Structure 1
Amino acid sequence: MEAINTLEYGEVKIASEVVATIVGLAALEVKGVAGMSGGLANGIAEKLGKKSLSKGVKLEIKEKEVIIDLYIIVDYGTKIPDISWEIQNNVIKVVETMIGLKAMNVNIHVQGVHFPQEPAKQENQ
Protein backbone atom coordinates (compact mmCIF):
# COMPACT_ATOMS: atom_id res chain seq x y z
CA MET A 1 0.00 0.00 0.00
CA GLU A 2 1.21 3.53 -0.62
CA ALA A 3 0.42 6.96 0.76
CA ILE A 4 -1.52 9.18 -1.62
CA ASN A 5 -1.76 12.96 -1.27
CA THR A 6 -4.19 14.71 -3.60
CA LEU A 7 -2.96 18.07 -4.82
CA GLU A 8 -4.58 20.72 -6.99
CA TYR A 9 -3.13 19.33 -10.24
CA GLY A 10 -2.84 15.64 -9.46
CA GLU A 11 -1.68 13.11 -6.88
CA VAL A 12 1.57 12.35 -5.14
CA LYS A 13 2.08 8.66 -4.38
CA ILE A 14 4.65 7.70 -1.76
CA ALA A 15 5.70 4.05 -1.64
CA SER A 16 5.21 2.38 1.72
CA GLU A 17 8.94 1.48 1.70
CA VAL A 18 9.75 5.21 1.64
CA VAL A 19 7.35 5.92 4.50
CA ALA A 20 8.85 3.05 6.50
CA THR A 21 12.40 4.33 5.93
CA ILE A 22 11.45 7.85 7.04
CA VAL A 23 9.77 6.44 10.16
CA GLY A 24 12.80 4.27 10.94
CA LEU A 25 15.15 7.24 10.65
CA ALA A 26 12.89 9.31 12.91
CA ALA A 27 13.06 6.57 15.55
CA LEU A 28 16.86 6.32 15.32
CA GLU A 29 17.20 10.07 15.92
CA VAL A 30 16.09 9.51 19.51
CA LYS A 31 18.96 9.06 21.97
CA GLY A 32 18.87 5.61 23.52
CA VAL A 33 17.70 3.72 20.43
CA ALA A 34 20.49 1.28 19.58
CA GLY A 35 18.90 0.08 16.36
CA MET A 36 15.92 -1.36 14.60
CA SER A 37 14.88 -4.98 14.90
CA GLY A 38 13.42 -7.15 12.19
CA GLY A 39 11.02 -8.66 14.69
CA LEU A 40 11.21 -12.14 16.07
CA ALA A 41 12.53 -14.51 13.43
CA ASN A 42 12.76 -18.08 14.75
CA GLY A 43 12.69 -16.68 18.28
CA ILE A 44 15.75 -14.47 17.81
CA ALA A 45 15.62 -10.68 17.47
CA GLU A 46 17.85 -9.65 14.59
CA LYS A 47 19.57 -6.28 14.86
CA LEU A 48 19.54 -4.51 11.52
CA GLY A 49 21.74 -1.76 10.12
CA LYS A 50 20.64 1.46 8.47
CA LYS A 51 20.18 -0.26 5.09
CA SER A 52 17.29 -2.27 6.53
CA LEU A 53 15.41 0.42 8.46
CA SER A 54 12.09 -0.44 6.89
CA LYS A 55 12.26 -4.01 8.26
CA GLY A 56 11.91 -2.66 11.80
CA VAL A 57 8.74 -0.80 10.79
CA LYS A 58 5.27 -2.18 10.09
CA LEU A 59 2.74 0.17 8.50
CA GLU A 60 -0.98 0.06 7.93
CA ILE A 61 -1.82 2.92 5.58
CA LYS A 62 -5.45 3.96 5.12
CA GLU A 63 -6.20 6.91 2.82
CA LYS A 64 -4.86 9.83 4.93
CA GLU A 65 -4.02 7.87 8.09
CA VAL A 66 -1.32 5.45 9.14
CA ILE A 67 -0.86 3.01 12.01
CA ILE A 68 2.80 2.38 12.81
CA ASP A 69 4.47 -0.46 14.69
CA LEU A 70 8.17 0.03 15.48
CA TYR A 71 10.44 -2.83 16.55
CA ILE A 72 13.48 -1.40 18.32
CA ILE A 73 16.52 -2.29 20.38
CA VAL A 74 17.33 0.10 23.23
CA ASP A 75 20.62 0.92 24.91
CA TYR A 76 21.11 -0.55 28.38
CA GLY A 77 20.11 1.92 31.09
CA THR A 78 17.54 3.71 28.97
CA LYS A 79 14.17 4.45 30.60
CA ILE A 80 11.87 2.58 28.23
CA PRO A 81 8.67 4.59 28.92
CA ASP A 82 10.53 7.88 28.39
CA ILE A 83 12.23 6.79 25.17
CA SER A 84 8.96 5.34 23.85
CA TRP A 85 7.16 8.62 24.41
CA GLU A 86 9.98 10.53 22.68
CA ILE A 87 9.97 8.14 19.70
CA GLN A 88 6.20 8.48 19.35
CA ASN A 89 6.40 12.29 19.36
CA ASN A 90 9.27 12.38 16.85
CA VAL A 91 7.62 9.88 14.48
CA ILE A 92 4.27 11.67 14.60
CA LYS A 93 5.93 15.02 13.85
CA VAL A 94 7.92 13.61 10.91
CA VAL A 95 5.01 11.65 9.41
CA GLU A 96 2.62 14.57 9.60
CA THR A 97 5.05 17.23 8.30
CA MET A 98 7.06 15.28 5.70
CA ILE A 99 4.43 12.90 4.36
CA GLY A 100 1.14 14.61 5.18
CA LEU A 101 -0.46 11.59 6.86
CA LYS A 102 -2.14 11.52 10.25
CA ALA A 103 -0.39 9.05 12.56
CA MET A 104 -3.28 7.33 14.35
CA ASN A 105 -1.13 5.00 16.47
CA VAL A 106 2.61 4.64 16.97
CA ASN A 107 3.18 1.36 18.79
CA ILE A 108 6.64 0.67 20.20
CA HIS A 109 7.83 -2.94 20.54
CA VAL A 110 11.12 -3.25 22.44
CA GLN A 111 12.76 -6.38 21.05
CA GLY A 112 16.07 -6.25 22.89
CA VAL A 113 18.64 -4.38 24.93
CA HIS A 114 22.07 -3.41 23.62
CA PHE A 115 24.84 -3.73 26.19
CA PRO A 116 28.04 -1.69 25.81
CA GLN A 117 31.10 -3.65 24.73
CA GLU A 118 33.70 -4.22 27.39
CA PRO A 119 37.21 -3.29 26.33
CA ALA A 120 39.25 -6.34 25.45
CA LYS A 121 41.27 -7.47 28.43
CA GLN A 122 44.96 -7.43 27.76
CA GLU A 123 46.94 -10.28 29.15
CA ASN A 124 50.24 -9.60 30.88
CA GLN A 125 53.05 -11.24 29.00
Structure 2
Amino acid sequence: MAEDTNIVLEATEPALGNIEVAPQVLEIIAGIAASNVDGVARMRGSLANSVNELFGRKERGKGVKLSFTDETLSVDVYAYLNYGVSVPKVALAVQEQVKQQLLFMTDLRLSEVNVHIEGVIPEKTTQAVDPNNLFDDDDESENGEDK
Protein backbone atom coordinates (compact mmCIF):
# COMPACT_ATOMS: atom_id res chain seq x y z
CA MET A 1 0.00 0.00 0.00
CA ALA A 2 1.21 3.48 -0.70
CA GLU A 3 2.20 5.99 1.92
CA ASP A 4 -0.43 8.30 3.37
CA THR A 5 1.27 11.51 2.23
CA ASN A 6 0.36 13.11 -1.05
CA ILE A 7 2.95 13.65 -3.77
CA VAL A 8 3.40 17.25 -4.86
CA LEU A 9 3.87 17.74 -8.60
CA GLU A 10 6.43 20.38 -9.54
CA ALA A 11 5.20 23.01 -11.99
CA THR A 12 7.56 24.45 -14.61
CA GLU A 13 5.40 27.52 -15.12
CA PRO A 14 4.01 29.84 -12.45
CA ALA A 15 0.88 28.27 -11.05
CA LEU A 16 -1.97 29.37 -8.85
CA GLY A 17 -1.16 26.75 -6.23
CA ASN A 18 0.20 23.29 -5.56
CA ILE A 19 -0.88 20.13 -7.33
CA GLU A 20 -0.98 17.12 -5.03
CA VAL A 21 -1.66 13.55 -6.12
CA ALA A 22 -2.69 10.80 -3.73
CA PRO A 23 -0.46 7.72 -3.93
CA GLN A 24 -3.54 5.55 -4.53
CA VAL A 25 -4.07 7.39 -7.83
CA LEU A 26 -0.55 6.50 -8.95
CA GLU A 27 -1.15 2.87 -7.93
CA ILE A 28 -4.32 2.77 -10.03
CA ILE A 29 -2.54 4.28 -13.05
CA ALA A 30 0.30 1.76 -12.75
CA GLY A 31 -2.12 -1.14 -12.18
CA ILE A 32 -4.21 -0.36 -15.25
CA ALA A 33 -1.10 0.16 -17.38
CA ALA A 34 0.37 -3.19 -16.30
CA SER A 35 -2.93 -5.05 -16.73
CA ASN A 36 -3.28 -3.84 -20.32
CA VAL A 37 0.03 -5.37 -21.45
CA ASP A 38 -0.42 -8.44 -23.66
CA GLY A 39 0.59 -11.55 -21.76
CA VAL A 40 -0.46 -10.34 -18.29
CA ALA A 41 -3.25 -12.60 -17.03
CA ARG A 42 -4.01 -10.70 -13.83
CA MET A 43 -2.44 -8.75 -11.03
CA ARG A 44 -1.77 -10.09 -7.53
CA GLY A 45 -4.44 -9.25 -5.03
CA SER A 46 -5.27 -9.87 -1.42
CA LEU A 47 -8.25 -11.53 0.22
CA ALA A 48 -9.89 -8.13 0.63
CA ASN A 49 -9.48 -7.47 -3.11
CA SER A 50 -11.11 -10.81 -3.91
CA VAL A 51 -14.06 -10.11 -1.60
CA ASN A 52 -14.52 -6.64 -3.13
CA GLU A 53 -14.54 -8.15 -6.63
CA LEU A 54 -17.20 -10.68 -5.55
CA PHE A 55 -19.46 -7.74 -4.71
CA GLY A 56 -18.79 -6.12 -8.08
CA ARG A 57 -16.22 -3.54 -7.04
CA LYS A 58 -13.15 -3.70 -9.27
CA GLU A 59 -9.84 -3.06 -7.53
CA ARG A 60 -7.60 -1.29 -10.03
CA GLY A 61 -4.59 -0.63 -7.80
CA LYS A 62 -4.01 -4.21 -6.74
CA GLY A 63 -0.65 -5.75 -7.44
CA VAL A 64 1.19 -2.41 -7.23
CA LYS A 65 3.36 -1.11 -4.41
CA LEU A 66 4.60 2.47 -4.49
CA SER A 67 7.66 3.87 -2.67
CA PHE A 68 8.36 7.59 -2.56
CA THR A 69 11.54 8.50 -0.67
CA ASP A 70 14.01 11.34 -1.11
CA GLU A 71 12.19 12.72 -4.15
CA THR A 72 12.51 9.38 -6.00
CA LEU A 73 9.57 7.26 -6.96
CA SER A 74 9.82 3.51 -7.41
CA VAL A 75 7.07 1.07 -8.32
CA ASP A 76 6.84 -2.66 -7.65
CA VAL A 77 4.40 -4.55 -9.89
CA TYR A 78 3.25 -8.07 -8.97
CA ALA A 79 1.65 -9.96 -11.87
CA TYR A 80 0.59 -13.38 -13.11
CA LEU A 81 1.33 -14.13 -16.75
CA ASN A 82 -0.44 -16.22 -19.36
CA TYR A 83 1.12 -19.58 -20.14
CA GLY A 84 3.34 -19.58 -23.23
CA VAL A 85 4.45 -15.95 -23.26
CA SER A 86 8.05 -14.81 -23.08
CA VAL A 87 8.57 -13.73 -19.48
CA PRO A 88 11.42 -11.26 -20.18
CA LYS A 89 9.54 -9.61 -23.06
CA VAL A 90 6.34 -9.19 -21.07
CA ALA A 91 8.23 -7.92 -18.01
CA LEU A 92 10.06 -5.32 -20.15
CA ALA A 93 6.76 -4.30 -21.74
CA VAL A 94 5.21 -3.86 -18.28
CA GLN A 95 8.14 -1.71 -17.17
CA GLU A 96 7.92 0.49 -20.25
CA GLN A 97 4.13 0.82 -20.13
CA VAL A 98 4.07 1.78 -16.43
CA LYS A 99 6.90 4.28 -16.94
CA GLN A 100 5.22 5.87 -19.96
CA GLN A 101 1.77 6.15 -18.42
CA LEU A 102 2.99 7.68 -15.15
CA LEU A 103 5.17 10.15 -17.06
CA PHE A 104 2.35 11.03 -19.46
CA MET A 105 -0.36 11.41 -16.83
CA THR A 106 1.57 12.96 -13.93
CA ASP A 107 4.92 14.14 -15.36
CA LEU A 108 6.68 12.10 -12.66
CA ARG A 109 9.89 10.29 -13.52
CA LEU A 110 10.40 6.89 -11.96
CA SER A 111 13.70 5.79 -10.52
CA GLU A 112 12.80 2.14 -11.06
CA VAL A 113 9.97 -0.20 -12.02
CA ASN A 114 10.43 -3.65 -10.51
CA VAL A 115 8.31 -6.43 -12.04
CA HIS A 116 7.69 -9.49 -9.89
CA ILE A 117 6.21 -12.48 -11.72
CA GLU A 118 4.08 -14.30 -9.16
CA GLY A 119 3.08 -17.21 -11.38
CA VAL A 120 1.85 -18.47 -14.72
CA ILE A 121 -1.83 -19.08 -15.44
CA PRO A 122 -2.45 -22.02 -17.82
CA GLU A 123 -5.04 -21.54 -20.53
CA LYS A 124 -8.42 -23.07 -19.88
CA THR A 125 -9.17 -26.17 -21.88
CA THR A 126 -12.67 -27.31 -22.66
CA GLN A 127 -13.50 -30.97 -22.92
CA ALA A 128 -15.65 -32.06 -25.81
CA VAL A 129 -18.29 -34.12 -24.04
CA ASP A 130 -21.42 -35.08 -25.89
CA PRO A 131 -24.27 -34.77 -23.34
CA ASN A 132 -26.34 -37.29 -25.32
CA ASN A 133 -23.62 -39.99 -25.26
CA LEU A 134 -21.98 -39.70 -21.87
CA PHE A 135 -21.20 -43.42 -21.55
CA ASP A 136 -20.71 -44.33 -25.18
CA ASP A 137 -17.22 -45.64 -26.01
CA ASP A 138 -15.82 -45.75 -29.52
CA ASP A 139 -14.63 -49.35 -28.98
CA GLU A 140 -18.12 -50.80 -28.59
CA SER A 141 -20.79 -51.26 -31.22
CA GLU A 142 -24.45 -50.32 -30.86
CA ASN A 143 -25.52 -53.70 -29.47
CA GLY A 144 -22.81 -53.84 -26.80
CA GLU A 145 -20.48 -56.31 -28.58
CA ASP A 146 -16.88 -55.57 -29.30
CA LYS A 147 -15.96 -54.75 -32.87
Alpha-carbon separation, structure 1, partners of 2:71 and 2:97: 19
* TM-score (ref. length: structure 1): 0.83
Give me the identity figure in percent: 29
Aligned to 1:118: 125
Aligned to 1:18: 25
Q: Which runs of structure 1 show a deviation greater than 6 angstroms over 4 or more consecutive aligned residues? A: none
Aligned to 1:89: 96
Shift of 1:62: 3.6
Task: Note the 1:94-113 alignment, pairs <5 A.
Answer: 94-113=101-120
Shift of 1:18: 0.8
Is 1-10 or 95-104 further displaced after alignment? 1-10
- Contact 2:44 2:62 survives alignment (8 Å): yes
Is 53-62 or 77-86 further displaced after alignment? 53-62
**C-alpha offsets along residues 74-98 of structure 1, whole Å, 9 cap, x if unaligned?**
0000100000111111111111111
Alpha-carbon separation, structure 2, partners of 1:65 and 1:10: 22
1:56 matches 2:63: yes
- Contact 1:64 1:102 survives alignment (8 Å): no
- Contact 2:32 2:61 survives alignment (8 Å): no
Shift of 1:6: 3.5
Aligned to 1:34: 41
1:6 matches 2:10: yes
1:84 counterpart SS class: helix
**Aligned letter for 1:67?**
S
Alpha-carbon separation, structure 2, partners of 1:51 and 1:63: 32
Alpha-carbon separation, structure 2, partners of 1:65 and 1:97: 17
Q: Which of the pair has the greater relative contact order for Cα pairs under 8 Å at 6+ separation?
A: 1
Shift of 1:65: 3.1
Instruction: Name the Cα RMSD after superposition.
Output: 2.3
Tell me which protein shows more strand as a share of its residues: 1
1:51 counterpart SS class: coil
- Contact 1:4 1:63 survives alignment (8 Å): no
* TM-score (ref. length: structure 2): 0.72
**Aligned letter for 2:84?**
G
Structure with bigger gyration radius: 2
Gaps of 5+ in 1: none
